[in-house]
Amino acid sequence: MAERIDARGLSCPQPVVLTQKAIKSGLPEFEVLVDSEVSRENVTRCLENNKMIVETSSEGDTYVIVAKKN
């Protein structure tokens, strides 16, 4: 199972900082959990700027953002 980063309830820009750390650590695939539309947009933009493939689904209040290396 891919590494999970739980960024729910964290205010801007911490979800992005955690996402950046995951990208830098070279993980081929990981999931980021966020619970606001703003965080979903910010994390998605950060991943796309880093040329990752992004897939998002929602589970209740939580967005699950799956990131894969291109």
Partner 1 sequence: MKNFFSSRWGIIVTGAVIGSIAVTLQQLGNPANMGICVACFERDIAGALGFHRADVVQYIRPEIPAFVLGSFIISLFTKEYQPRAGSSTIIRFFLGVFAMIGALVFLGCPWRALLRLSGGDWNALTGIAGLITGISAGVLFLKNGFSLGRNYKLKKGAGWIFPAFMVALLVMLLFKFRVSDTGPLFFSAKGPGSQYTPVLISLAAGLIIGAIAQRSRFCTMGSLRDIILARDFHLASGILAMVVFATALNLVYGQFNPGFDGQPVAHTAHLWNFAGMALSGLSFALAGGCPGRQLILSGEGDSDSAVFVVGMIVGAGVSHNFLLASSSAGPGAFGPAAVIIGIVFCLIIGITMREKVN
Cβ-defined contacts of 58-66 (< 8 Å, 24+): 61/35, 62/8, 62/33, 62/34, 62/35, 63/33, 63/34, 63/35, 63/39, 64/31, 64/32, 64/33, 65/31, 65/32, 65/33, 65/34, 65/40, 66/2, 66/29, 66/30, 66/31
Binding site for partner 1 (CB under 8 A): 8-14, 16-17, 20-21, 35-38, 41, 45-46, 49, 61
Question: In the bound complex, what is the minimum distance in angstroms from residue 66's beta carbon to partner 1?
Answer: 20
Closest distance between partner 1 and the C-beta of residue 68, in Å?
19
Q: Minimum CB separation from partner 1 for residue 27, in Å?
A: 12
